[in-house]
Every structure is written in structure tokens, then in C-alpha cells.
Amino acid sequence: MNTPSRVKLTLVTASVILCWAYSPIGVHLGLHSYSPGQLALLRFLIASLFMAGVALVLGIGRPRWRDVPWLLVLGFFGVFLHHTALNYGQQWVTAAASSVLAQSAPLFSVLIAFLVLKERVSVWRWVCVSLGLVGVGVVICGDRGIGEIDPRGVLILLAALSWSVYFALQKHYAHRYSPLTMACYMVWAGTLMLCVNLPGLPAAVLRAPLTENLAVLVLGIFPSALAYLAWGYVLKHVEVSRASVAMYLIPPVAMLMAATLLGEQVTPWVVLGALIVLASVAAISLEGRRRLVVQAECAQPVAVEVLGDEGIAEVQIRR
């Protein structure tokens, strides 16, 4: 498998950030005409049709029977639970605050990567993640004030937890299927589960204004279809804990979109929190660059002897 360049991975990750930054704005608009469950179903019906068209043109593989239960689990955590909880929670918070709460997922992702996937997480990365969450807290407090945040908005943290579980599971199966195949089956499985919200949806579509239906259409194609495909591609080449940190960039981008498209006011405290979050991301990026330099300097062949059941075998490794 050819490893993509850093520039390509950066561009793909940036497109995912832009798509998912629009998501709380699209949800905010869609909730004017749809219930949380109806909105989740409609956006993923659109996504499912779009992915079906892509699959017909490009072709996808058939899933192994033994993997079908796990693909259904992916659909449950990545689509059904995440977007149901997110939509219900966003009824009680602004789009900007929603983007921040939803991006607490990196904390859960690091824990899952460390405890379940046995990935090595440096102390520096733990400190940076903690710093990022401090920034998240500053943004939440500066959005409407602690006393104005409705407790039901905490449902967005449930969405964040389900999101991190989806990340970890997708990483486990990323090498068995192409990103397109994985994204298609996950979206279709989640959409099937969301069909419990079908009653009343056709009438709601007819009643909704054109502008809000267009907002949901964009929501279904970009954050719900293309972004899943692009994110699957990123996870196939990058560690879960490291890739998830890039999601910290979503809140400040979403805040700019909310201020521009929804007229939400961004307070100085929100700006301060965003700067803290971005500083944590920059610090982790610097750690990654330093690591690459050290690996390049130490990448010399070293002969070692390994004693096994069949005797002594000499192998070549790279530090």
C-alpha cells in the first residue's frame, strides 16, 4: 500500500474539518422545521443515496459475513447514536457551543487508543490534550455563561463518546476494506436504524422552507457522506489518537461559520478558548515534527539476534 504524502493527508483532513464545522450550522437550521430524529434520518437518507451513486460508479467490495455485525456496530455509534444525541443536545446550546462539546471526543479517543488499541501516547500529548480541554471549558463558559447552559445539552457529550468509539472501531477494520466500502456500509447501516423516525417525515419535508431544505441537503452530502469517506482515508494512514487531535480545529472554524451564517456573537472568552485549543494542536504538531527528525537521524540498519523455537535467526530492523 502506497503511503500518501503529508500534503495530501493535510488537505484531506482540512476538507473534513470544513465539512464537520458546517454540521452544527446545518443542524441549527434544520431543527427549525424537523424534530431531532427526523433531521438525523433525512440527512442520512440524502447521504445514503449519494453514497449509493458513488458506489455504483466506483464500485465497492462485499463485506465478509463475519464482519457484518461489526459494520452494524459502526453504523450504530458513528451514525445512529452520535447524530441522535447531537441533534437533541443542540436544541439547548448554540451552534458554536455544540461544536466545542462535540469535539471533546479526542479525550475519549486518546483513552481508547491507549487502553484498548495499546497505542503509545506520550506525556507531551496527554498534556496537550488536557490543555485543549481547558480551552473547551473556556469556550463553553464564555458562550452563554454557566448558568445559561441547559443540562440537556450534555447529550452532546454522549455524542462525543459514541464518536470516539466509532473512531477506534473504524481504525480496527480500516485495513480490511477501502475507505469507500467502509463509509458506504457504515452510513447505510446507520440510516437503516434511523428509519424509526420515518413517521411524519414526508409531511415535514413539504412544510419546510426551501432554504432550510437546502441546508439539510448540504448537510447530507458534505458532512454526512464526503467527510466520512475522507475521514476513513485519514484513519487508514494515521494513528487514532493523533488524527483525532486535528478535530480540535473544528470549533474555531464552526464559530466563524456560525457568526457569518447565523449571526451568532462570538465573545472574547470564546476567542480566548479557541486560541488555547489551537495552541494545544500546534504543540502536538511540533512534537510530531521533532519525532520525524529523530527517526530520520536514527534510521540506520542494526543487526540483532532473535532466539526462537527453531534456533537463532539474524534479522534486520530499523530503529
Per-residue pLDDT band for 288 (boundaries 50, 70, 90) equals low
* pLDDT in the model for residue 107: 65
Per-residue pLDDT band for 301 (boundaries 50, 70, 90) equals very low
205 and 42 Cβ atoms separated by less than 8 Å: yes
Quick one: how far is CA 254 from the chain centroid? Answer: 14
Mean pLDDT of the chain: 79
DSSP 3-state of 317: strand
Q: Which percentage of the chain shows pLDDT scores above 70?
A: 78
Provide the residue count of the chain.
319
Q: Is residue 93's pLDDT more than 90?
A: no
**Which of 294, 292, 314 has the alpha carbon at shortest distance from 302?**
314
* pLDDT in the model for residue 303: 40
**Look-up: residue for cell 426551501?**
210
Q: Which amino acid is at 51?
A: M
Q: Is residue 59's pLDDT more than 70?
A: yes
In the chain, which ranges are continuous DSSP H helix? 6-30, 36-58, 68-75, 82-89, 95-102, 105-115, 123-144, 155-173, 179-194, 201-207, 210-221, 227-235, 240-245, 250-257, 268-298
What's the pLDDT tens digit per position in 189-208? 999 999 999 999 999 999 99
What's the pLDDT tens digit per position in 211-269? 999 999 999 999 988 887 788 788 778 776 677 667 778 878 888 899 898 888 877 87
Alpha carbon distance 61, 250 (integer Å)? 32
109 and 241 Cβ atoms separated by less than 8 Å: yes
Q: Is residue 33's pLDDT more than 50?
A: yes
136 or 191, greater pLDDT: 191
14 or 133, greater pLDDT: 14
59's torsion region: left (phi>0), alpha (psi -120 to 50) or beta? left
Which residues 6+ apart lie within 8 Å of 299 measured at CB? Answer: 318, 319
Q: Provide DSSP, 199-218.
A: TTHHHHHHHS-HHHHHHHHH
DSSP 3-state of 57: helix
CA angle 309, 311, 313 (to 5 degrees): 110
* pLDDT in the model for residue 40: 96
Q: Provide DSSP, 284-303.
A: HHHHHHHHHHHHHHH--EEE
* pLDDT in the model for residue 144: 67
Which residues 6+ apart lie within 8 Å of 75 measured at CB? Answer: 185, 186, 187, 188, 189, 190, 191, 192, 193
Per-residue pLDDT band for 284 (boundaries 50, 70, 90) equals low
> Out of 109-118, 225-234, 286-295, which region has the weakest mean confidence (pLDDT)?
286-295
